[in-house]
Amino acid sequence: MVKRRVHVAAAAIISNDGREVLLARRPSNVDHGGLWEFPGGKLAPYETGLEGLKRELHEELGVEIQRAQPLIRIHHEYPDKHILLDVWQVHEFTGEPFGREGQAVRWVPMKELVNYPFPAANLPILRAVMLPTEYLITGEEQDEARFDACLARALTEDSVRLVQLRAKGLDEAAYLARAERALALCREHGARLLLNADPELLDRVDADGIHLTSERLGALERRPITEDKWLSASTHDCQQLTQAARIGCDFVTLSPLRTTPSHPEVAPMGWHDFQQMVERAAMPVFALGGMTRFDANHARAVGAQGIASIRDFWK
């Protein structure tokens, strides 16, 4: 049987305060009936994703999109069809949303999203909705006071909300001490902290998750931490992306996009290859390697979650 290919545009509509997202419930008489979804629907012939989304949100909710940005694209095999979910983050709209087709519609706090039953393809969308566009990786720093000052600056002035504590030069005791201070700073600013360390360290510091080096990623058979924590990993090629999906990573970095002073010997992949790999990855991907915040829009446009960087944030 040749499967039908269906291109669906869907919207993550975020409330003004950034805390809630709008969900709709699929009627009981359609496929995936009774499950919750991000409003949207199938594209008409020759429609682009954004055109189709505008039409669907008008038809289903009575709202007009003013500003939207690509969030994530997911290819998913259902038993009867191959579906491309083309998800947009809607930042601004006019009109008061209501279920024009009789469907239930509800604003749901981000934290409660995981309690709603969704179609199987939707898990990566939940991850993407909760993630910011920028992922800070901490710089190698000898001096603890300087470390604290750099992190505090990035959290306040750059409004960074996702931090990876990378400190290859520290022994375990020094790493743990730094992690405790970094965690306190992150909590103060509502940011999440992932430890680039042995997953077992999460028993010692109650951080928000673990970032795996590609070496740790390759050695794992299964997800090393519980579902309530976040798991990210460093990847550089398709094989590592597949491994990250296999062990249930929530998101990844993919590098090096450009040549960087820290890894001058590694050939950069460039935007073309990056885009092709991101398109096949069913999880949020941060572009890494010579990235600055000025690259974030372009990263989004080619399907990424955003950018990860040390140098652009560490000053």
Question: Is position 8 an interface residue for ligand 8DG (rule: CB under 6 A)?
Answer: yes
Q: Is 132 in the site for Mg ion (CB under 5 A)?
A: no
Question: What amino acid is encoded at 178 in this protein?
Answer: R
> What is the number of other CB atoms lying within 10 angstroms of the CB of residue 115?
8
Sign of torsion over alpha carbons 266, 128, 303, 158: negative
H/E stretch holding 233 reads strand 230-235
Q: What span, in angstroms and rounded, lies between the C-alpha atoms of 120 and 88?
A: 18
Least Å from the CB of residue 180 to ligand 8DG: 39
Q: Are 56 and 46 in contact (CB under 8 A)?
A: no
Number of Cβ within 10 Å of residue 7's Cβ equals 17
304 binds, among ligand 8DG, Mg ion, none (CB under 5 to 8 A by kind): none
Kindly state whether residue 10 participates in binding ligand 8DG, applying the rule CB under 6 A: yes
| 49 near ligand 8DG, rule: CB under 6 A | no
Q: For the CB of residue 41, give the shortest distance to ligand 8DG in the complex, in Å.
A: 2
Residues 55 to 74 in contact with ligand 8DG, rule: CB under 6 A = 56
The minimum distance between CB 38 and ligand 8DG, in angstroms, equals 4
- The footprint of Mg ion on residues 27-86 (CB under 5 A) is 41
Q: Which string of x and - marks every residue 12-41 that binds ligand 8DG (by CB under 6 A)?
A: ------------------xxx----xx-xx
**Residues 6+ positions from 267 with CB-CB distance below 8 Å:** 259
Stretch that binds ligand 8DG, among 107-115, 119-127, 184-192, 200-208 (CB under 6 A): 119-127
Q: Give the pair of three-digit tokens for residue 306.
A: 């955003």
Among 4, 42, 111, 187, binds ligand 8DG (CB under 6 A): 42
Query: How many residues sit close enough to Mg ion to count as binding (CB under 5 A)?
Result: 1
Is 51 a binding residue for ligand 8DG by CB under 6 A? The answer is: no
Separation of CA 301 from chain center? 14
Burial class (CB in 10 A: 0-12, 13-18, 19+), 287: buried
Return the amino acid letter for 310.
I
Residue 42 partner contact from Mg ion, ligand 8DG, none using kind-dependent CB cut-offs of 5 to 8 Å: ligand 8DG
Binding residues for ligand 8DG, rule: CB under 6 A, are: 8, 10, 30-32, 37-38, 40-42, 56, 83, 85, 119, 121-122
